[in-house]
Structure 1
């Protein structure tokens, strides 16, 4: 998930943070509402189009998914071995082959479709969560926490953690490049080699994190953090006309999806 805010002038950037969270909730309802991968694919393509319009860097997003591909393929295969009686449609109860003798562990068509649905759901949720954090400043999340009557210390801790994750990731890449320039090989093969290769990276990372925490605490003390209970912000989050229209459209789509699933029995396996 991308969590570093990228300022741009797009429609999604101009929406209120509450509108984006409502949209994310509506997306989560839709992707878990339908069991057929085609319906989830339509939702995922819609989210992808919105992400492209907001300038989401897909190369970085897909870079997070590439290391997970073997695990995702195994999940899809294991989900394929599902009991045929769990599916509603007769075509999905078709068994392609049995992994064990005496008709045990049969790979069904519905099971493979279920695995594809899980992968599409994961992709859609990653894109949607990255889209929310990409287009929303940290200050908007802090204001949202304050409007929810949460302690300011809690919102500050969460916002600081989100803010420094991209910074620590950049420092990790710099440390890896520095280790390679000194002849080290942090990407060794095997589990033991990988653990040994992580040690030259983790030690400088821990030292850097301690130094950053110390600098942050000194900066907070110099600015009088904690002297006043009231907090002010440069800009205030507020609902605009486009937020109301967007929320109405999201609710309408979710209601339509619920009607399609439970009223028309569409998207079932």
Structure 2
């Protein structure tokens, strides 16, 4: 089950994205994600989809990794789609009792789900192509100016990266609990959807207990390495912008401006 979670995973390949500076990837993905939030026209969605698919191919990460990573959010996507279909007012194309499906609801539901999928794939590119420590170092460098305002940049960067990195670990612990219950003759997957939802509630206590244990072990590991507040620590690998970082930055700016122009022009 842990392999079905995109966020927090790292996949080792020799691609262009793996060789980029983590600061370039963080800034570029944030800019592109912000431009995706302004998508309105069909052509802009097509351009954004081609961009994301191109990034997936260039990352050399197997496509089934992304496909399996979308499975845990299928319920959220279905709920979002049905919410817009049912509760959006407009031209009714089908009705039953108090339920009405409108053309505008179908349009909004498809576009919103489409946008969420693009955002998930785009955000997963950051963790799939960047090691956790490298990501923390890049985030720390980007937030370095805030340290003059007494902001604990080093601790904040480490906290964010650990939170992202431990998402697959938490899913793995949940899978271990499910396997333990299945070994005792209690298979949740055989239950209906409503009963399955309520069956997950008793698992919260052992899952939270395991998470607290993991957090305590991580605290001892950090203290044993004398990390402290992280200030003044050096790194073995120094970050340095290369020519391909500047080239990618220029491409990201061009793509973002193109998406904005497509939306402004209503194309």
What secondary structure sits across from 1:12 in the alignment? helix
What secondary structure sits across from 2:10 in the alignment? coil
Residue pair 2:40, 2:263 contacting (<8 A) in 1 also: no
* Pairs aligned (count): 248
1:219 correspondence with 2:221: yes
Q: Which ranges in structure 2 are unaligned for 5 or more consecutive residues? A: 1-5, 145-150
What secondary structure sits across from 2:236 in the alignment? coil
Residue pair 2:9, 2:128 contacting (<8 A) in 1 also: yes
1:195 correspondence with 2:198: yes
Residue pair 1:80, 1:111 contacting (<8 A) in 2 also: yes
- TM-aligned CA distance change 1:106 to 1:145, over 3 Å: closer
The residue aligned with 1:144 is 138
Deviations 1:157-204 (CA, angstroms, capped at 9, x unpaired): 2222222221121121122112101112334436466324431x3333
Residue pair 1:37, 1:113 contacting (<8 A) in 2 also: no
1:176 correspondence with 2:187: no
1:60 correspondence with 2:62: no
Match of 1:37 among 27, 38, 42: 42
**TM-score, scaled to structure 2:** 0.80
What secondary structure sits across from 2:70 in the alignment? helix
Q: Please report how far the alpha carbon of residue 242 of structure 1 lies from its aligned counterpart in structure 2 after TM superposition.
A: 0.3
Deviations 1:33-82 (CA, angstroms, capped at 9, x unpaired): 33123431331232023113320512322212322343033134136524
1:6 correspondence with 2:7: no
**TM-score, scaled to structure 1:** 0.79
The residue aligned with 2:266 is 266
The residue aligned with 2:166 is 164
Between 39-48 and 20-29, report the one with greater CA deviation: 20-29
Q: Distance in 2 between matches of 1:79 and 1:256?
A: 32
Q: Distance in 2 between matches of 1:198 and 1:77?
A: 30
The residue aligned with 2:80 is 72
Q: Distance in 1 between matches of 2:116 and 2:87?
A: 15
- TM-aligned CA distance change 1:192 to 1:247, over 3 Å: same
Q: Distance in 1 between matches of 2:140 and 2:32?
A: 25
Which has the higher Rg, Structure 1 or Structure 2? 1
Q: Which ranges in structure 1 are unaligned for 5 or more consecutive residues? A: 83-94
What secondary structure sits across from 1:9 in the alignment? coil
- TM-aligned CA distance change 1:204 to 1:118, over 3 Å: same
- TM-aligned CA distance change 1:186 to 1:254, over 3 Å: same
1:132 correspondence with 2:126: yes
Q: Distance in 2 between matches of 1:106 and 1:74?
A: 9
The residue aligned with 1:254 is 256
Residue pair 1:35, 1:114 contacting (<8 A) in 2 also: no
Pairwise CA RMSD: 2.8
- TM-aligned CA distance change 1:11 to 1:208, over 3 Å: same
Q: Distance in 2 between matches of 1:113 and 1:234?
A: 51
